[in-house]
Structure 1
Amino acid sequence: MEPIPDPLVTQFARHVATRDDPPPYVPPRQDREAILQRLDAELRRLGVRLSNRRLTLARLCLALAPHPRRTSVQLADELALSRQTVVAAMALLLPPGYVVYEKVGRHRYYRYTRAGEDWLLPLLTGEPAPAA
């Protein structure tokens, strides 16, 4: 008859055998709330201090994402904001070079730059940004 191993020894042996294994992969949340939280944190890092302005800008980022370009009027209508609010909020993404606009007549057509797309994609997916 074989001796019954002590559960403490078995548990400790299992711990030692697996201690260098990476933790199991847990995919990041990709629901709207999680995306808005990641955008909020990133916009805070960029220096946008007012929480309502960060939320407006985060919503604008999401509204612009699926389109090649949008006017400030289209964005304002989609989010029930004034055109002036859209223009003021989007102006915060111009200096880092994430967004540019082209003026055609009375309208400003906003679009993401390549740098803006590279900035936004990890925020949407929750995956870490590739090393620059």
Structure 2
Amino acid sequence: MAIDPLVARFAEHVATRDDPPPYVPPRQDREAILERLDTALRALGVRLRNRRHTLAQLCVALAGHPKATAVQLAEEVGFVRQTVTMALAVLLPPGYVAYEKKGRNRYYRYTRAGEDWLLPLLTGEVASAA
């Protein structure tokens, strides 16, 4: 006697209902990283899309340096120094970025909290919570 297709599909469903879905690794391309950062920055209160996108690019650029000046970051991402300074000021109050002054230069760096905030956003392994 043939098994009814409905019964077969239901039996398959019951047999596999506790199986976890297949793991799909998060996208690691630059655009996906910037989108995750954009979402996290929105949660920090950065309202305008172009400001979030500018700051997201700076977050990625600063990640490549133990510390960097606004001029170094501006050259890397193609912005003017004032834009970089104003954008990084958004990350100072939550304590994600700090700076030390040496002579006339400010050297920006991620704090421990900033590194903990940024790493999951870069890897995509954890939801982007601020």
Question: Which of the five TM-score ranges fits, normalised by the shorter chain?
Answer: over 0.9
Structure 1 position 42, deviation (Å) = 0.5
Output the CA distance in 1 between the equivalents of 2:9 and 2:42. 44
1:34 aligns with 2:26: no
1:59 counterpart residue number: 57
2:21 counterpart residue number: 23
The question of whether the paired residues in 2 share the 8 Å contact of 1:102 and 1:108 is answered with yes
Indicate the structure whose relative CO is greater, using CA pairs within 8 Å and at least 6 residues apart: 2
Letter in 1 for 2:92: L
User: Which digits, 9 at most, give the CA deviation of each residue in 1:59-82, with x for residues without a partner?
Assistant: 000001021011111001111111
User: Which digits, 9 at most, give the CA deviation of each residue in 1:66-120, with x for residues without a partner?
Assistant: 2101111100111111111111100000000000011111111100001100000
Q: Quick check: which has more Rg, 1 or 2?
A: 1
Structure 1 position 25, deviation (Å) = 1.4
Letter in 1 for 2:43: R
The question of whether the paired residues in 2 share the 8 Å contact of 1:36 and 1:55 is answered with yes
User: Which digits, 9 at most, give the CA deviation of each residue in 1:38-77, with x for residues without a partner?
Assistant: 0000000000001111011000000010210111110011
The question of whether the paired residues in 2 share the 8 Å contact of 1:101 and 1:110 is answered with yes
Output the CA distance in 1 between the equivalents of 2:64 and 2:5. 55
| Count of paired positions | 127
Letter in 1 for 2:49: S
Secondary structure at 2:125 match in 1? coil
Structure 1 position 6, deviation (Å) = 2.5
Q: What is the aligned-residue identity percentage?
A: 76
Structure 1 position 124, deviation (Å) = 0.4
Structure 1 position 11, deviation (Å) = 1.4
Aligned pairs (5 A) from 1:52-131: 52-128=50-126
RMSD: 1.1
The question of whether the paired residues in 2 share the 8 Å contact of 1:73 and 1:107 is answered with no
Output the CA distance in 1 between the equivalents of 2:104 and 2:28. 36
Q: TM-score if structure 2 supplies the norm length?
A: 0.93
Structure 2: gaps (5+ residues): none
